[in-house]
Structure 1
Amino acid sequence: MLTINLGLLLAVIVFFRLRRRTEARSRNDEKLTVVIVLALGVVIAPTPVGQGIGEFLGQLASGITDSTR
């Protein structure tokens, strides 16, 4: 079974989104980047809220993975 660290996945997504040229981004694209960065911050934050959101997203991912079988 393959497991993916959610924090690492979000960090990779942020890295590739920020490599794009600024002129090529729309306002909605910038907003999505901000939301992803905030999600990354919450996931890696060592707080009960961050851990709870991480567990919720992990369960959601597991549910999606299980539904595709």
Structure 2
Amino acid sequence: MAVLLAVIIVLRLRRPTHAQSRNDEKLTVLVFLVFGILVAPTAFGQGVLDVVGQLAAGTTESGR
């Protein structure tokens, strides 16, 4: 399921940019949220979370 959603996300991001309807925007957000929920408990998702956490920690420390 996560692979299918990843393909959908790539296809949606490759479309030419144009004004989107509100329903189209809601669908895009929903697809990204479901993908995040499916990927988060995997080893890949945990690795991404660790990297983002380290980047965030580095950014906050460099701002002090």
Root mean square deviation of aligned Cα: 1.6
Query: Where do residues 45-56 of structure 1 align in structure 2 (5 Å cutoff)?
Result: 45-46=40-41
Q: Which runs of 5+ in 1 are unaligned?
A: 1-5, 48-69
Deviations 1:4-61 (A, max 9, x none): xx111000001111111231521210110110000000001117xxxxxxxxxxxxxx
* TM-score under structure 2 length normalisation: 0.57
Counterpart of 2:62 in structure 1 is: none
The one-letter amino acid of 1:26's match is S
| Aligned structure 1 segments of 4 or more residues deviating by more than 2 angstroms | none
Q: Which runs of 5+ in 2 are unaligned?
A: 43-64
Percent of aligned pairs sharing the same letter: 60
User: Aligned residues, how many?
Assistant: 42
Which of 4, 7, 14 is residue 12 of structure 1 equivalent to?
Answer: 7
C-alpha distance in 1 between matches for 2:25 and 2:16:
11
Q: Which has the higher contact order (CA 8 A, sep 6+)?
A: 2
C-alpha distance in 1 between matches for 2:14 and 2:20:
11
* TM-score under structure 1 length normalisation: 0.53
The structure with the larger Rg is: 2
